Amino acid sequence: MNSKYSLPNSKNNITKFSMKMKPTPIIFGNKNGPPSPKKMKMNSNENMNSSNYNGNFSPRPKLSIQDQRRKLPVFDKRNKLLELIKRHKTLIILGETGSGKTTQIPQYIHSARLQENGKIAVTQPRRVAAISIALRVAQEFGQGMQIGDVVGYSVRFEDVTSTKTKIKFLTDGMLLREAMFDKLLMEYTVVILDEAHERTIHTDVLFGIVKRAQKIREDKNLAPLKILIMSATMDVDHFSKYFNNCQAVYLEGRTYPVNVYHTIKPHDDYQTSCVATFFKIHKEAPANHDVLIFLTGQEEIEACAHQIRLLAKDPDVHGPAVKVCTLYAAQPSSQQLNVFHPAPPNTRKVVISTNIAETSVTISGIKYVIDSGMVKVRSFHPSTGLELLKTQKISQEQAWQRMGRAGRESEGYCYRIYTRSQFELMRKVSIPEIQRANLCTVALQLLSLGIQAMQFDFMDKPPRDATMAAFEQLTLLGAVETITSTTLTPLGKKMAKFPLDPRFSKILLSAHDFGCLEEALTVVSLLSGESILINPTSKREQAQNVRQKFCSAYGDHITLLNIFREFTNVGQTNKRNWCHEHFINMRNILHARDIRNQLEEICKKCDLTLKSCGSQMDQLRKCLVTGLFMNTAELLRDRLYTTLDKKQAVQIHPSSSLHGQQPALILFTEVVQTSKCYLRGITTIEAEWLNEIAPEYLKSHNIRLNKSS
Ligand code: ADP
Ligand code: MG
């Protein structure tokens, strides 16, 4: 399921700032002692005024791209590294973020032809990183090298590679999908699992898949598979043990001391505090000292960007011009790449980012880091049966990574919007996603590889109740016969063909029977891409009013469908204007159309007939129930809902088109938790449909529907 927005939090609301409002002072102190000496190391070989950077504290390199490559810490280790890579079939490479691991090592391997006749795969946990790094590496190759030639990338619904491609950057999810079609990953002779410390669910599964492929290829005398595990920080012993005690190599990075400050008092409104801290720095620091702010998600980041842009123009606020850049997953890649461009002269760049900038991408010129101490994570709770998006405190490990971003090129400063004691209370390391995620998709993928998740060689086994919940879901969806099955049903096999959450593949596969595949494809595609709705903070009401005509009494999914249908009807030359007028993100809606085309191809391969239900929305609503009957809630009283199976109290999110109304029974595609649990992406449904479509579910969960529903 897709979720891109954080709940607008009234405390963090933009309206608190006006042009005339001055940032409130935040008091910092570091009198509780310096941060751990280990993290404060200064590499004595490095001179802060080193000649590559104009003798300046905040370097804006004017070097040629090849000179920039030669200045990276990894460059001196090139030969040593290549020798180790040649010698070992599995190798762990550790190195500070920004030392050149991701961009350089694949190129070194390629120029030494260590991949022989195969390809090099480099995985990234995030789309943004896979795309931006591939573009960077293609650029470093130089000489008119086009992306998709020797260097390419592949992310879900976007494959920019060709037969010439030798270095392929892909999201870990994409490599996992490729493994479903070729268990031994024969296309590759080198697989680099990058950002391994992030421990995304896909990377964790890939650990097991590549380890297995390597062994089988060895046993069968096939082309050997080399595995490189790269990371900024990690528990080497744990990783090495899992990979048969393989060797690890440390790359000394260049790091400079970072002065860390904690707030003296706790600050609940961390967003406002980040803005205030920025202006405190802005008033005093030279213009070429750039700032990186860590916040949690799109809405928060955009609101903060808006505040800074406004305040920076205020004649009473002193300081140079400000260039504000934002970085979050749901953003068009072109905008994301903007963060890498240096600011014009006499202008300060401020990058406001999610945890993407923690380790995945490195931005030059950052001298100051402001760390809100918060991150948004998705987690599954077997006890409530809900997978939700929640803003929570980061781990100490993340705090150190964030701090490190300030000390890449010279001495830096890190302002933490939390107290020293709050820091001490943070958990030491983050919990791997596999231990907190909904395992339904993974269990289905593994089964399609002929592996029962319970028997899989995980580095850290997921909790048993989460695995059981996943198999229960797969059983209810009809992908397996029973929760102990080791094979997929014919329906399950078809479900595994789609790069989607099994609940969404089920919807497409049932749409054939309800005669609404056209509509189901549209809805699923719109839910699979980034949001098509633009809600600018300053024009939110205007946006809602102009889109009012698309609103359906059945809820958000049909509303989205109406928007897409209208977009399709608008003439080619008018599409841009139409999108602008209706606050629709043109790029995202076009992307959704691409996704739709790709899903349509898969449907055709599954022999599904493309039919439209026209205005018979009941067909589509019933069809949605076939996949989402487990995501249902009924009205209890006065706007308060409760989920059908685990009786979790929930409410309709203010951004839903059904907000303010009280339909008796609803299905939902997204859960957001702030102080309360909110649902969005909602469609109203009828009780008898549940009886008709999911009787097993009602029975096994003892669900008796309210009379009113
Ligand atoms: P690592 O993987 O060790 O964290 P990278 O190879 O990602 O390091 O980055 C090395 C350096 O390359 C960065 O410090 C940055 O200066 C430069 N770089 C990486 N990506 C880009 C990009 N898209 N645009 C400009 N410079 C980049
Ligand atoms: Mg990297």
Are 416 and 373 in contact by the 8 Å Cβ rule? The answer is yes
Distance 124 CA to ligand 2 centre (A): 8
Protein residue whose Cα sits closest to atom 15 of ligand 1: 362
Protein residue whose Cα sits closest to atom 10 of ligand 1: 100
Q: What is the pLDDT of residue 318?
A: 87
Distance 97 CA to ligand 1 centre (A): 9
Report the distance separating Cα 555 and Cα 576, nearest Å.
26
Q: What is the pLDDT of residue 261?
A: 96
Report the distance separating Cα 180 and Cα 185, nearest Å.
9
Residues 46 and 130 in one domain: no
Q: What is the pLDDT of residue 587?
A: 86
Instruction: Report the nearest atom of ligand 1 relative to the CA of 253.
Output: 3
Distance 401 CA to ligand 2 centre (A): 13
Are 484 and 470 in contact by the 8 Å Cβ rule? The answer is no
Q: What is the pLDDT of residue 107?
A: 97
* Amino acid at the residue 432: P
Residues 126 and 227 in one domain: yes
107 CB under 6 A from ligand 1?
no
Number of compact structural domains in the chain: 4
Neighbours of ion ligand 2 (CB under 5 A): 101-102
Instruction: Report the nearest atom of ligand 1 relative to the CA of 100.
Output: 6
- Helix, strand, or coil here: 649? strand
What are the phi and psi torsion angles at 321 (to 5°)?
-65, 155
| Nearest Cα to Cα of residue 460 among 218, 156, 207 | 207
Q: What per-residue string of b and e applies to 375-394 under the rule 16 or more CB within 10 Å gives b?
A: bbbbbbbbebbbbbbbbebb
Q: What is the pLDDT of residue 384?
A: 66
pLDDT bin (cut points 50, 70, 90) of residue 519 is very high
Domain end point (choices 251, 284, 316): 251
In a domain, 592, yes or no: yes
Tens digit of each residue's pLDDT (9 = 90 or more) over 439-485: 999 999 999 998 988 889 999 999 998 899 999 999 999 999 998 88
| Nearest Cα to Cα of residue 282 among 347, 371, 353 | 347
Higher pLDDT, 429 or 521: 521
Q: What is the pLDDT of residue 625?
A: 98
In a domain, 134, yes or no: yes
23 CB under 6 A from ligand 1?
no
Tens digit of each residue's pLDDT (9 = 90 or more) over 80-124: 999 999 999 999 999 988 889 999 999 999 999 988 999 999 999
95 CB under 6 A from ligand 1?
yes
- Helix, strand, or coil here: 190? strand
Are 186 and 206 in contact by the 8 Å Cβ rule? The answer is no
Residues 297 and 350 in one domain: yes
Domain end point (choices 368, 402, 425): 425
Residue 480 token pair: 């397996």
In a domain, 666, yes or no: yes
Mean pLDDT, rounded, for 242-270 = 91
Residues 263 and 365 in one domain: yes
Residue 198 token pair: 């992030």
pLDDT bin (cut points 50, 70, 90) of residue 27 is low
Instruction: Report the nearest atom of ligand 1 relative to the CA of 69.
Output: 12
Are 7 and 678 in contact by the 8 Å Cβ rule? The answer is yes
Residues 212 and 267 in one domain: no
Residues 582 and 646 in one domain: no
101 CB under 6 A from ligand 1?
yes
Higher pLDDT, 673 or 52: 673
103 CB under 6 A from ligand 1?
yes
Residue of 78, 93, 99, 103 to test ligand 1 pocket, by largest number of atoms within 8 Å of CB: 103
Residues 639 and 560 in one domain: no
Report the distance separating Cα 432 and Cα 413, nearest Å.
29
Distance 133 CA to ligand 2 centre (A): 9
Residue of 133, 136, 229 to test ligand 1 pocket, by largest number of atoms within 8 Å of CB: 136
What 307-312 contacts at long range (C-beta under 8 Å, 24+ apart), as own/partner pairs, is 307/14, 307/17, 307/275, 308/275, 308/278, 308/350, 308/352, 310/17, 310/19, 311/17, 311/19, 311/21, 311/23, 311/275, 311/279, 312/282
Residues 123 and 206 in one domain: yes
Distance 253 CA to ligand 2 centre (A): 12
Protein residue whose Cα sits closest to atom 7 of ligand 1: 102
Residues 25 and 154 in one domain: no
Expressed as residue numbers, the domain containing 680 is 629-700
Angle at 411 between CA 407 and CA 415, to 5 degrees: 70
In a domain, 232, yes or no: yes
Distance 396 CA to ligand 1 centre (A): 24
| Nearest Cα to Cα of residue 274 among 145, 373, 135, 148 | 373
Residues 397 and 264 in one domain: yes
Nearest-ligand number for the alpha carbon of 404: 1
In a domain, 480, yes or no: no
In a domain, 484, yes or no: no
Count CB neighbours of 454 within 10 A.
17
Mean pLDDT, rounded, for 28-49 = 34
User: What are the residues facing 683 on neighbouring strands?
Assistant: 555, 667
Distance 100 CA to ligand 2 centre (A): 7
Q: What is the pLDDT of residue 96?
A: 86
124 CB under 6 A from ligand 1?
no
362 CB under 6 A from ligand 1?
yes
Nearest-ligand number for the alpha carbon of 68: 1
Q: Domain containing 220 — which CATH number?
A: 3.40.50.300
Report the distance separating Cα 667 and Cα 496, nearest Å.
23
What mean pLDDT, rounded, does the chain reach?
87
365 CB under 6 A from ligand 1?
no
Q: Is pLDDT at 653 greater than 60 in this prediction? A: yes
Protein residue whose Cα sits closest to atom 26 of ligand 1: 340
Residues 30 and 75 in one domain: no
Domain end point (choices 231, 251, 271): 251
Q: What is the pLDDT of residue 4?
A: 26
Mean pLDDT, rounded, for 133-147 = 87
Residues 25 and 75 in one domain: no
Distance 128 CA to ligand 1 centre (A): 13
Report the distance separating Cα 579 and Cα 591, nearest Å.
14
Q: What is the pLDDT of residue 692?
A: 95
In a domain, 102, yes or no: yes
214 CB under 6 A from ligand 1?
no
In a domain, 437, yes or no: no
Protein residue whose Cα sits closest to atom 16 of ligand 1: 364
Nearest-ligand number for the alpha carbon of 408: 1
State the pTM of this model: 0.83
